[in-house]
Amino acid sequence: MDPSHQKHFTIVDYVIFAILLVASMGIGLYYALSGGRQRTTQEFLMADRNMRCLPVSLSLIASFQSAVAIIGVPAEIYTHGTQYWFIGCAYFLGLLIPAHVFIPVLYRLRLSSAYQYLELRFSKAVRICGTLTFIFQMVIYMGVCVYTPAFALNAVTGFELWGAVLAIGLVCALYTTMGGLKAVIWTDVFQTIVMFAGQLAVIVVGVHQTGGVSEVWRKVWAGNLISGLDLNPDPTVRHTFWTLGVGGVFLMLSLYGVNQAQVQRYLSSRTEKEAVRSCYMVFPSLQLTLALSCVMGLVMFARYCGEDHSEKLGGSSGDAMVIYFVMDMLQGLPGLPGLFMACLFSAALSTISSALNSLATVTMEDLIKPHFPAMSEARATLLSKVLALSYGLLCLVMAYVTHQMGDSVLQVALKIFGMVGGPILGLFCLGMFFPWANSTGAVAGLGVGLSMAFWIGIGSIATRSSGTRPLPPRCRAALLSDNMTTVIESLPSNVTLSLPSGLTRFYSLSYMWYSAFNCFTVILIGLTISFLTGPMKEENVTPGTVYPLLGTLLCFLPERLKKKLCCVTPLGQTPSSLQMPPPQHKEINGVDPQHESGPSWEETDSFLPDTRTPFVEQETTV
Ligand SMILES: O=C(O)CCCC[C@@H]1SC[C@@H]2NC(=O)N[C@@H]21
Ligand code: NA
């Protein structure tokens, strides 16, 4: 963008932005110097497993609500209408299934890393594959999260590019390294509030400048931006009710069901009920953030649709357009551009801090501790801090790598989740719902699932056809008060009008189906190979690692009939090889966390065996 059109910040804006960074560092410092002063991995990685549901629920949202959603969703609504809003329909099952399937199973195994489940259910090899896949996914995703605010701001305001990347990366790595999971969760709480405030401010100012709600609605309606319920079953259409409402459920399960960043938050809850409650509390807040970012896109459309900004925007993508519009809207209102920048950086910081902490946790728990069982707590905690810092530096490198990708950031992020998160979800579903699945099947399933995912993902990038894009609503501007009409032909160059066939059709599968497609591939291959290599017998499966799906579906049957029908896994102990004597833990607020792990067995789902015997790695006393 040529400098003459660049928007600039006033000193007030920089002050607000600085306050965000200082406050985040302050919280990090506070948790470095209070409580157990981050001296054990139980505190540094698991927040002493003593968190309440409110901070956990806000942290759950912040972890996967980065600048990608803050910028990408309004850009999506502006260019393609409100179809994307239907992803909100996926939030029902996308949160109910984690609350009633994944949390009960994972919480009672007293894990630190979600991938310990894979060793319990399958083998160490499967656990390592799961861990490495997760690390790959989050490292790339972190790159997108750092890149988004930094490059978009640079394009519009000339804000020093590497200054922004360093500001996010270093501040984040520092407070995550100092304050551990407690600091990450409480900074997420603070940053989520800043995110809401920033988005709300843009909407209020934008509606006011457009002439009020009714004026916005009139323009949006006239611009045919409100998409109806598109029930087109064609899986290659980018956004329909099916790709968003159904495909979106698998995307949500891969994030809120089995992703380490979220599972770690469930496991850091003081009881299982608190974890389930935090999952329920995510629902209204997630709907609110979705609504805010969609409305922001509508307001932008109403405010700017009539004007042709192409010469100012130059080639910059739709994402940078959002920043341009926001800076233009807030220009002359000192402090508001700073608030929006704080909102953007809060979104990035909260996601990256969660990623850094979860990466340090799985690296420590899954890749290092099993090889050094005699490592002292002090050394393990120090190493965890070094890991968090190292991943922070790696994330800066990834910021540059991400710069090469062409798609809109929202699409890149969702593709990553679909391509990598989908197969991991498949692995957990294979383990939890199919007792016959064995380790060979699991490894083979994951291998084929990831290969298919990358084949289709890269194929779609190569042929630039990830889902046939619908013709975006023409920006008919016969709305301007002075009756001047200009029509901005916003026909993207890569729209594919002709229906693709054969391999191209395969590549043009909507990216919103990636999670579901890859999940089913892993399950299908996993089961086939398991049956070919000798399925596991029910009695050999570690108790508590299989969720008796039949028991749930037939919950209306009387107890005795259900027991006979679906041979509920007996109440069992975690196998001795994996179970160590409970660690010398300190009482927390007079409550012994080892035994205060939620409601009594009767209060929970009765058909889930109560294997609350702790699955703890060798945690020698210091
Ligand atoms: O914002 C991001 O960093 C990633 C894009 C959003 C990820 C998914 S979309 C459905 C769910 N709702 C959210 O706010 N995040 C997740
Ligand atoms: Na975030």
Query: Which residue's CA lies nearest to atom 10 of ligand 1?
Result: 252
Q: Is 237 helix (H, G, I), strand (E, B) or coil?
A: strand
pLDDT score for 534: 93
- In the 8-state DSSP scheme, what is residue 471? P
Distance CA 15, CA 481 (A): 38
Query: Which residue's CA lies nearest to atom 16 of ligand 1?
Result: 64
Q: What is the CA(399)–ligand 2 centre distance, in A?
A: 16
Which helix (H) or strand (E) segment is 30 a member of? helix 11-33
Please give the model's pTM, rounded to 2 decimal places. 0.85
**pLDDT tens, residue by residue, 377-400:** 999 999 999 999 999 999 888 887
Q: What is the CA(557)–ligand 1 centre distance, in A?
A: 38
Residue type, 451: S
pLDDT score for 306: 58
From the CB of 289, is ligand 1 less than 6 Å away?
yes
The top-scoring range by mean pLDDT among 126-135, 332-341, 542-551, 613-622 is: 126-135
Q: Is the pLDDT of residue 15 over 60?
A: yes
Q: Buried b vs exposed e over 309-339: b needs ≥16 C-beta within 10 Å?
A: eeebbeebbbbbbbbbbbbbbbeeeeebbbb
Residue type, 454: F
Distance CA 466, CA 270 (A): 43
Mutate to test the pocket of ligand 1, among 57, 60, 65 (most ligand atoms within 8 A of CB): 65
Q: Is the pLDDT of residue 13 over 50?
A: yes
Q: Which atom of ligand 1 is nearest to the CA of 90?
A: 10
Q: Which of 145, 140, 144, 135 is nearest to 113 (CA)?
A: 135
Among all ligands shown, which has an atom nearest to the Cα of 187?
2
Q: Which atom of ligand 1 is nearest to the CA of 289?
A: 14
Q: Is the pLDDT of residue 482 over 70?
A: no
Q: What is the CA(72)–ligand 2 centre distance, in A?
A: 13
CB 149 within 8 A of CB 67: yes
Residue type, 246: V
Among all ligands shown, which has an atom nearest to the Cα of 70?
1
**Residue 357 banded pLDDT, cuts 50, 70, 90:** very high
Q: Which atom of ligand 1 is nearest to the CA of 145?
A: 3
Q: Which domains does the chain have, with CATH numbers?
A: 8-34+48-414 (1.20.1730.10), 539-617 (no CATH)
| Other residues' Cβ atoms within 10 Å of the Cβ of residue 373 | 11
Q: Which atom of ligand 1 is nearest to the CA of 413?
A: 4
Q: Which atom of ligand 1 is nearest to the CA of 61?
A: 14
pLDDT score for 447: 96
Distance CA 147, CA 132 (A): 23
pLDDT score for 404: 64
Among all ligands shown, which has an atom nearest to the Cα of 343?
2
Distance CA 118, CA 131 (A): 9
Question: What is the ipTM score, two decimals?
Answer: 0.97
Kindly report the average pLDDT of the chain as a whole number.
Answer: 83
Among all ligands shown, which has an atom nearest to the Cα of 346?
2
From the CB of 354, is ligand 1 less than 6 Å away?
no
From the CB of 254, is ligand 1 less than 6 Å away?
no
Q: What is the CA(64)–ligand 1 centre distance, in A?
A: 5
Q: Torsion-angle region of residue 331: left (phi > 0), alpha (psi -120 to 50) or beta? A: beta
Average pLDDT value for residue range 530-556 = 86
Q: What is the CA(492)–ligand 1 centre distance, in A?
A: 24
Q: For tokens 């702790």, what's the residue?
A: 614
**pLDDT tens, residue by residue, 198-231:** 999 999 999 999 999 999 999 999 988 998 889 9
**Residue 416 banded pLDDT, cuts 50, 70, 90:** confident
Distance CA 123, CA 580 (A): 17
From the CB of 68, is ligand 1 less than 6 Å away?
yes
**Residue 327 banded pLDDT, cuts 50, 70, 90:** confident
**Residue 316 banded pLDDT, cuts 50, 70, 90:** low
Q: Is the pLDDT of residue 407 over 90?
A: no
Distance CA 294, CA 79 (A): 12
From the CB of 205, is ligand 1 less than 6 Å away?
no
CB 346 within 8 A of CB 195: yes
pLDDT score for 592: 44
Percent pLDDT > 70 in the chain is 81
For residue 189, give every residue at least 6 positions away whose Cβ sits within 8 Å of its Cβ, in sequence order, or none.
Answer: 54, 55, 58, 59, 62
Structural tokens at position 246: 């159904």
Q: Which atom of ligand 1 is nearest to the CA of 248?
A: 10
Which helix (H) or strand (E) segment is 488 a member of? strand 487-488
Q: What is the CA(363)–ligand 1 centre distance, in A?
A: 24
Mutate to test the pocket of ligand 1, among 57, 60, 64 (most ligand atoms within 8 A of CB): 64
Distance CA 545, CA 611 (A): 9
Query: Which residue's CA lies nearest to atom 8 of ligand 1?
Result: 64
Which of 87-96, 187-196, 286-295, 397-406 is predicted with the least confidence, judged by mean pLDDT? 397-406
Query: Which residue's CA lies nearest to atom 14 of ligand 1?
Result: 65
For residue 225, give every residue at least 6 positions away whose Cβ sits within 8 Å of its Cβ, in sequence order, or none.
Answer: 77, 81, 82, 298, 301, 473
Percent pLDDT > 90 in the chain is 57
Q: How far is CA 80 from the centre of its chain?
A: 23
Structural tokens at position 508: 């043009």
Q: What is the CA(381)–ligand 1 centre distance, in A?
A: 31
Structural tokens at position 396: 């800066």
Instruction: Give the max Cα distance, the chain.
Output: 79
